[in-house]
Amino acid sequence: MILIADGGATNVEWCAIDNGKVVSRVFTAGMNAMMLSKEEMAETIGRELMPLLNGLHIDEIYYYGAGCLFDNICSNMREALHRNIPEASKIVVETDMLAAARAACGDAPGIVCIMGTGSNSCYYDGERITDNVPSLGYILGDEGSGAVLGKLLVGDLLKRQMPKHLVDKFMEQYNLTPQIILENVYRKPGANSFLASLSPFLAENIEEPSVHRLVLNAFKSFFVRNVENYDNYKELSVNFVGSIAVNYREVLEEAAKALYINIGKIIKSPMDGLVEYYSGNK
Q: What is the pTM of this model?
A: 0.77
- Where do the structural domains in the chain lie, given as residue ranges? 2-99+271-281
Q: Kindly tell me if the per-residue pLDDT of 134 is higher than 60.
A: yes
Q: How far apart are CA 97 and CA 140, in angstroms?
A: 19
Position 282 scores a pLDDT of 44
Give the amino acid at 33: A
pLDDT confidence of residue 280: 67
Q: Is the dihedral of CA 50, 56, 61, 64 positive or negative?
A: negative
Contact status, residue 39 vs residue 7, Cβ threshold 8 Å:
no
Thinking of the domain 2-99+271-281, which architecture would CATH place it in?
Answer: 2-Layer Sandwich (3.30)
**Percent of the chain having pLDDT more than 70?**
99
Confidence class of residue 66 from pLDDT cuts 50, 70 and 90?
confident
Average pLDDT, the chain: 92
**How do residues 30-49 score in pLDDT, each as one tens digit?**
888 888 899 999 999 999 99
Supply the pLDDT for residue 208.
Answer: 95
pLDDT value at position 281? Answer: 53
**Which has the minimum average pLDDT: 104-108, 109-113, 168-172?**
104-108
Question: Are residues 76 and 39 in contact, defined by beta-carbon separation less than 8 angstroms?
Answer: no
Phi/psi of residue 18, nearest 5 degrees: -135, 115
